Amino acid sequence: MKILHIDTGKGWRGGQQQVFNLHLELTRAGVDSHLITQRGGELLRRSEGAGLPVYGLPLLGEWDLYSALKIAGRLKRGGFTHLHLHSSHAQGIGVLAAMLSGFRNVIATRRVDFEPKSGVLNRIKYGGRIKRFVAISEAIKAILLAFGVPEEKISLVNSGVDPDRIKPGSGNPFRGELGISEGALLIGNISALTDHKGQRYFIEAIPQILLKAPEARFVIVGSGELEEALKAQAAGLGLNDALTFTGFRSDVDEIMDALDIFVMSSHMEGLGTIVMDALAASKPVVATQAGGIPEIIGEDRGAGLLVPPKDPAAIADAVLELIEDEGLAVSLAAAGRKRVVDKFSAKAMMEGNLALYRELDYG
């Protein structure tokens, strides 16, 4: 068995973390796993740093003929048994490479919870060249079914995280950087600053939280097209002293450790692996009932507090409940970590994909 993975993301978001986790765990399990990703990208850098087999290509857009030809050559000569595509653009390039090389054993993982657009090109991407689709949540599976993908071509494999990656105490320097005193509450969100992540609803909730918890501090970690708009919103609400925007940070594990409460404010979400990271780090979580997030949390108050999407008042009420009821916060944090260890580990995610590779045999 020899697997070729393709991911086109240049930055570092949840999808790239999942590809890295899968590549690493497969290699640890003795599987011959190889990765093609974008030149100069963070996934390339981290994979090289971990000593994993990785190659850089331009991967420009979803129908990059040059990259497709290069990949087709590897498929013809490299002895690969499976081609696993991990992003929408990778799906376009990978399908084209498979058509050029005659390769048939193609798998595509879908992580985003909006329906693919109709059109000829997407019908090619989601057509017969893909042997199996991997949905990372039941919510994603439902979207693929609605688009017309036959159920027998869909396998459910949840994303997973390393439950021991975030080290207790590693966040102390970040708290010092922000001037957070010992015992003060730090409440935060770590996500790309895009519309579907819903940070504007978190920001709108902050004044309501401050009315009852005036010493609380807040942080939003990430970059994206809405950064300036969100900063303007915060300034308009007079939050300059209470809320910090960090921009992109490479030390998100340490920042997660620094938090006392994690808030996930998305109104669309394929699954939400950053929520898994927060639970694994034993953080009390307030999260929206969006996409696959409830599949992580389980029933409300099982491993976190669930609130409706786009509802700042509900976010504020849930955060205040955790602040005011320390026993609830502690019990949810413990239940959340147990849930990730039992159900959403990176090793479990690797084993789910490996079972699929074996089911599809060697092409």
Q: Are residues 135 and 208 in the same domain?
A: no
Q: Are residues 322 and 282 in the same domain?
A: yes
DSSP string across 312-363: HHHHHHHHHHHHH-HHHHHHHHHHHHHHHHHH-BHHHHHHHHHHHHHHTTT-
359 phi and psi, to 5 degrees? -65, -40
Distance CA 90, CA 84 (A): 9
Reported as a single tens digit per residue, the pLDDT across 68-99 is 999 999 999 999 999 999 999 999 999 999 99
Place of tokens 């570092």: 12
Q: Which two tokens stand for residue 235?
A: 């300034």
pLDDT tens-place values along the chain, 363 residues long: 999 999 999 988 889 999 999 999 999 999 999 999 999 999 999 999 999 999 999 999 889 999 999 999 999 999 999 999 999 999 999 999 999 999 999 999 999 877 888 888 888 888 889 999 999 999 999 999 999 999 999 999 999 999 999 999 999 999 999 999 888 999 999 999 999 999 999 999 999 999 999 999 999 999 999 999 999 999 999 998 999 999 999 999 999 999 999 999 999 998 899 999 999 999 999 999 998 999 999 977 889 999 999 999 999 999 999 999 999 999 999 999 999 999 999 999 999 999 999 999 754
Distance CA 159, CA 17 (A): 10
Q: Are residues 182 and 121 in the same domain?
A: no
Domain extent at residue 133: 2-160+345-359
Q: Are residues 218 and 240 in the same domain?
A: yes
Examine residue 165 and state whether it is found in any structural domain, yes or no: no
Examine residue 166 and state whether it is found in any structural domain, yes or no: no
- Per-residue CA distances from 141 to 110, 148, 331, 347, 360 (Å): 9, 11, 31, 22, 19
Q: Are residues 106 and 202 in the same domain?
A: no
Examine residue 167 and state whether it is found in any structural domain, yes or no: no
The single-letter DSSP state of residue 161 is B
Number of domains in the chain: 2
Q: Are residues 302 and 155 in the same domain?
A: no
Global confidence as pTM? 0.86
The CATH number covering residue 27 comes to: 3.40.50.2000
Size (the chain), residues: 363
Residue type, 166: I
Q: Are residues 151 and 105 in the same domain?
A: yes
Q: Are residues 327 and 351 in the same domain?
A: no
Q: Are residues 57 and 69 in the same domain?
A: yes
Distance CA 22, CA 186 (A): 32
Residue 190's CB: how many other CB atoms inside 10 A?
22
Examine residue 247 and state whether it is found in any structural domain, yes or no: yes
Q: Are residues 295 and 354 in the same domain?
A: no
Strands (E), the chain: 2-6, 32-38, 54-57, 82-85, 106-110, 132-135, 154-156, 186-190, 217-221, 243-247, 261-264, 285-288, 305-307
Reported as a single tens digit per residue, the pLDDT across 129-183 is 999 999 999 999 999 999 999 999 999 999 999 999 999 999 999 999 999 988 8
Q: Give the SS3 label for residue 73.
A: helix
Place of tokens 């491993």: 303
